[in-house]
Amino acid sequence: MNHNKFILTPLSSILTDISLASQGAGIGIETFPLCDYLMQSVFLKLTGAQEQKMKCIFWELASHDYEYRQTKLRQGLQGEYSSYTDKNKIYQDLVSQVLSLSKHLTFSDILSRTNVLGETKSEIKNIFKGTNLYTWAQKSFAEYDKLIVDIKENHFAVDERTLLASAQNIPSNYRLPSGNGLKEIYEQHLYAQRNRVAHNTLSYQQNLPTLKKLQEDSYIYENYFVYFFLLILIDKIVIQLFEKHIESRNTSIHY
């Protein structure tokens, strides 16, 4: 089965859908309890879709590179693709495959970090500004706005040195969002929240954060808009790389 259409479909469409679906609810005070419920729901839908996309990318790579498939299958199960480590490995494999198929290309040829970052920032803003979710969570969005200003293109997918001739030797610095604490935000906040919501661990835990928790500097990262930004950023990275993979694969077939 060809998964290209799904892989190339932006996950931001999920955010657009929830913004449109919530418009009929109104913005009266009686509607505010809907906010956390909808945020959790769209967050789970977004993380689940990205996990499935990563699996599809793995199988697409394995379908066209038998050595890659044998190597991965010998290593055992590939995991749920929800953790940073799992996603980063798929990202590195994708980079490796593209550069292996098109040896004349450099890393900067296959990924425009400027475009990816700019599109992600503007898309999150355009999707939520003026919507019910924005009204219900204005404080969170304001905090997100302040945080996102500090995110620069050298904080993710960093190309600090030339890739070695062997495409299998991907330098460790070729990583998904990692600079400016992005990796820590993903692992300690986004991924932790994904597990809490997905496994309903909040059902037996205190529903509200403690005063001690609220005082922690890192609490500002407990923010769904920040989570959405990171997930969409990762999605745009893999879409751009997968487009290059298809292009490189088709080109190599003709030679």
Q: How many distinct structural domains can be found in the chain?
A: 1
Residue 124 has pLDDT above 90, yes or no: yes
Q: How far apart are CA 122 and CA 144, in angstroms?
A: 13
Q: What is the DSSP letter of 11?
A: T
pLDDT score recorded for residue 214: 47
Q: Which amino acid is at 152?
A: K
> Distances in Å between the alpha carbon of 175 and those of 172, 231, 234?
7, 14, 11
pLDDT tier for residue 104 given thresholds of 50, 70 and 90: confident
CB-facing half-sphere around the CA of 61: CA atoms within 13 A:
31
Q: Which amino acid belongs to residue 71?
A: T
Judge whether residue 168 has pLDDT over 60: no
pLDDT tens digits along 231-254: 999 999 999 999 999 998 888 654
Q: What is the DSSP letter of 189?
A: I
Mean pLDDT, the chain, integer: 82
- Structural domain for 80, as ranges: 4-253
What pLDDT is recorded for position 112?
92
pLDDT at residue 161 is higher than 50: no
How far out from the chain centre does Cα 25 lie?
29
pLDDT tens for residues 187-239? 989 999 999 888 765 555 555 555 455 445 556 889 999 999 999 999 999 99
Separation of alpha carbons 110 and 94, rounded Å? 11
d(CA 184, CA 190): 9
For residue 160, what pLDDT band results from cuts at 50, 70 and 90?
very low
Entry pTM:
0.85
Share of the chain above pLDDT 70, in %: 80
Give the pLDDT confidence score for residue 156 in this predicted structure.
84
Is the model's pLDDT at 73 over the cut of 90? no
Does position 54 have pLDDT exceeding 90, yes or no? yes
Phi/psi for 110 (5° steps) reads -100, -10
What is the spatial distance between Cα 242 and Cα 237, in angstroms, rounded to a whole number? 9
Q: Measuring CA to CA, how many Å separate 174 from each of 6, 141, 151, 154?
A: 25, 30, 17, 11
Per cent of the chain over pLDDT 90 is 40
When pLDDT is averaged across residues 112-130 and rounded to a whole number, the result is 94
